[in-house]
Amino acid sequence: MTTLWPIALITFKEGIRNRAIYGIFLMALMLLIANFLLCSMIPREVGKVAVDIALSTVYFSGLLLVFFVGINLMAKDLDRKTIYMVISRPISRPQYIVGKFFGMALLIIAAMVFLSIFAILSIFLIKLSYPGYFPRFSWPMVLLALALSTLPLILLSALSFLFASFTSSSFITLVLTMIAYIIGRSSYDVKALVESPEAAGIHPSPVTVKLVHVAYYLFPNLSVFDIKTQAAHNLPLAPSYILWAVLYGVVYTSLAVACAAVFFRRREFP
Amino acid sequence: MITITGISKEFKEGIGARSVKALEDLDLEIREGEVFGFLGPNGAGKSTAIKILMNLIYPDKGRASIRGKDVRDRETRRHVGYLSENPYFYDYLTAEELLWFGGRTSGLSSSAVKTRTDELLAKFSLNAARKRQLRTYSKGMVQRVGLALALVHDPDVAILDEPMSGLDPIGRKMVGDLILELKAQGKTVFFSSHILTDIERFCDRVGVIIGGKLRLVDTLDKLVSGTVSLEDVFLREVEKAGGGLQA
């Protein structure tokens, strides 16, 4: 831990002071203000729309953070050779990966806490203005949805570390991470579709069905962390589902970081 | 103290590209307490050898050790200070934070890091800029903070890759004085340069590397006499190597 903590801390500081993060925060604030204006213009379901927009804004901002600040934090180390100052200390390559990942996870959590405060404020103000539209509203469900949306971001960040451990360009890392995100968001629905093709009137080939299954089991199923609908409508959610989702996220993230550490062990920095 | 035995290294840039031999059967031994100058033209393999010593790249063949320990063992680097050529550090960190990182990861206590940070920032005239982010530093200041980072844990061995590169005369004098100070403290200094006057001023022994091959190793006294300068020796070796510059 004496080695991991300094790496995590300088990664966090380097990330939190990056100007790009202020741009992301500013955009999030504007969207949350827009949430208030939008809700004043629609005649019904204000409560559900307000919660949905607030949660989506926080998640989208988190995604931007992972794609454009997180990937850059690791890429800069490799491109500008700042990794020399780390590897020239008594630090192994796997320790570098794990420490760097902890720093990035800390950055995501801090950013999500900050964004969540504004999202909550936005919902609170809308609720105050239109109390009649919040008959089934539940703060615990909103908080749970915000907390759960942090996990896929940390998981995606772990995947970006995995991709960066064997690719030579930050652009390829970005593309692979985005592909993983798109597959992760849609694989559950696509799998359901190819498993009951008659319902949609489609005829997928056996190869397509196999490919969809491979993608489903290889890439993380990010839709399990999305409980926006339940939060917006205050629908019941079994505690076992939350536990399973958290466990799934933690295990998948750990595996991705472990694989990144193994690949990075062989990496050279000429 | 530093031993390099039969090290070879080839680089291949991209699929289908031809390989470039960066080092070929390099054997070198640097003794405890000596200042060793690694001299060679650009692309001769100086930085490649240093990067192998720092475990930044792996040799294709051979082995290297520092203080008897293989360089692949991360513990070896607890006693080594390293300054890379044209160093880059995290833009948004301050000098204080950088040295905190260097000290803590090398096993120093918080109070020891603080004492050492004060000492080194004063020594390298960076006290006034200690809380400024490194992205606001000039090239000379970056080089100086790099030296402070290399020495924060008071290492027995200092490996400096082109430490005078891009420095003004004041900065060069500062680095020169530092090398002499380390020598007086009995530390081992291994530094690369293609600036002959630097090598002549500070080194006990000199190694000349050209085209990835070590051409010559000897004490400065034996290489340089009244009529023969280090420049003569170097140019003669370059000529013997057929120009020495790789395509």
Length of chain A: 270
Q: What is the pLDDT of residue A161?
A: 96
CB contact under 8 A, A90 and B82: no
Confidence of residue B244 (pLDDT cuts 50, 70, 90): very low
**CA–CA dist B218, B212 (Å, integer):** 18
Q: Tell which B residues from 203 to 232 touch A, by Cβ distance under 8 Å.
A: none
Per-residue confidence band for A164, with pLDDT thresholds at 50, 70 and 90 = very high
Is B91's Cβ below 8 Å from some Cβ in A?
A: yes
Span A96-141, pLDDT tens digits: 999 999 999 999 999 999 999 999 999 999 988 888 888 888 899 9
B51 and A14 within 8 Å at the Cβ level: the answer is no
CA distance linking residue A154 with residue B103, whole number of Å: 29
pLDDT band at B245 (very low <50, low <70, confident <90, very high): very low
The CA distance from B230 to the nearest CA of chain A, in Å, is 30
* Residues counted in chain B: 247
How many angstroms away from the CA of A261 is the closest CA of chain B?
15
Average pLDDT (A174-195) is 90
**Closest of B236, B190, B189, B229 to residue B210, by C-alpha:** B236
* B52, B56, B72: best to mutate for the A interface, most A CBs within 10 A: B56
Residue bearing tokens 């550490």? A261
Mean local confidence (pLDDT), B153-164: 94
Q: What value does the mean pLDDT of chain A take?
A: 91
Is 90 exceeded by the pLDDT of residue A213?
A: no
Q: Which of residues 21-60 of B touch A (CB under 8 A)?
A: 48, 51, 54-58
Residues B203 and B190: their CA atoms lie apart, in Å, by 9
Report d(CA A242, CA A224) in Å as an integer.
9
CB contact under 8 A, A85 and B54: no
Per residue in B171-218, pLDDT tens?
A: 888 889 999 999 999 999 999 988 888 888 889 999 999 999 999 999
Bridge partners of residue A125, in order along the sequence: none
Q: Who has greater pLDDT, A187 or A154?
A: A154
pLDDT for the residue numbered A80: 87
A56-100 pLDDT, tens digit each: 999 999 999 999 999 988 888 988 899 999 999 999 999 999 999
Q: By percentage, how much of chain B surpasses pLDDT 70?
A: 96
A90 in reach of chain B (CB within 8 A): yes
Query: Cα-flanking dihedrals φ and ψ of residue B24, to 5°?
Result: -130, 110
Cα B90 to Cα A83: distance, rounded to the nearest angstrom: 9
Closest CB from B56, B78, B100 relative to A87 = B56
| Farthest-apart Cα atoms in chain B, separation | 55
DSSP B69-117: EETTSGGGGGGEEEE-SS----TT-BHHHHHHHHHHHTT--HHHHHHHH
Q: Which two tokens stand for residue B87?
A: 């160093």
pLDDT of B34: 94
Q: Does B107 touch chain A (CB under 8 A)?
A: yes
Residue A35 contacts B, CB cutoff 8 Å: no
B10, B88, B117, B153: best mutation site toward chain A, by most A Cβ within 10 Å? Answer: B88
What's the whole-number mean pLDDT along residues A216-245? 91
Contacts for B15 with CB less than 8 Å, ≥ 6 apart: none
CA B123/CA A90 separation, integer angstroms: 25
Residue A230 sits at the chain B interface (C-beta within 8 Å): no
Distance in Å, alpha carbon of A76 to nearest chain B alpha carbon: 9
Split at pLDDT 50, 70, 90, the class of B14 is: low
User: Is a pLDDT exceeding 70 seen at residue B247?
Assistant: no
pLDDT of residue A238 exceeding 90: yes
Q: What's the token pair of residue A23?
A: 């741009």
Q: Which DSSP symbol is given to B94?
A: B
